[in-house]
Structure formats: structure tokens, C-alpha cells
Amino acid sequence: MKGGKLWAFHFFAGFVLFFLLFSHLAVMHFSAGATAPMHDPANPLHWQSVLARSKDLIMTIIYTLFVGFGLYHGFYGLFGIFTEINLLKPYRRAVGAILIVLGVVLFLYGSFAAWYGYFTLRGA
């Protein structure tokens, strides 16, 4: 793949994902309650913990960024793989268009899920 603005953003997205993934692992797998039984409210997977994170604006923004950066990084890499296959080189534009549409749809779906939870639960 050639360098350029899209590649630089791909690199930046990977850098951001590193820190978002580290934060996710710290909260979900290495926090104090991560080894607690599922019925314990200290467990990050307990329903009350999930609801608390869903009501938090910062967590909703983090989830949205995680989805956006993850999809861009993944689909840009997938585009590079697909366009390096000789059989698909003539269809470069079509492959790109399909991946863009699929990425936008998945981003909208993921963002909708995060923000729907935030707006419906924050008053509860």
C-alpha cells in the first residue's frame, strides 16, 4: 500500500486503538471486581455495572470512538489485502465502495447502540 493521508490515519487509528484496548482490558478484565462472581455488583459484567457505564457520557463517547477507529483500521487493512490479490485488482473501486458502505453501516449501528443506551438510561 502506498503511504499518504489515509495510510497515516490508519497508523494513527492503530495507535489510538492500542490505548482504547488497554483501557478496555483494564476495566473489563483486570479491575478489582473482574474475578468476582457474576451476581456480585463489583463484577464489570454485572447488569448494574453495564447500566452504569451505559449512562456515562464519557463511556458512550469512548465506545463510539472505539467503534469508529476500529472499523476504519480494520477495513483499511482489509482493503489493502483485497487489492493486493491479483484477481481483485481490476475491481479496486468496487471493493473500496463496498467496504466504505459496510463500514458506515456498521459504524451507524454501533453508534446507535451506544447512544440509544445513553439517552434512554440516563434519566432512569
pLDDT by residue, tens only, the chain of 124 residues = 566 899 999 999 999 999 999 988 888 888 877 778 878 888 888 888 888 888 889 999 999 999 999 999 999 999 999 888 888 888 889 999 999 999 999 999 999 999 998 999 877 6
Report, at the CATH architecture level, how domain 5-121 is classified. Up-down Bundle (1.20)
Separation between Cα atoms, residue 95 and residue 114, nearest integer Å: 28
47 burial class (0-12, 13-18, 19+ CB within 10 angstroms)?
Answer: exposed
Residue ranges of the domains in the chain? 5-121
Cβ-contact 14, 73 below 8 angstroms: yes
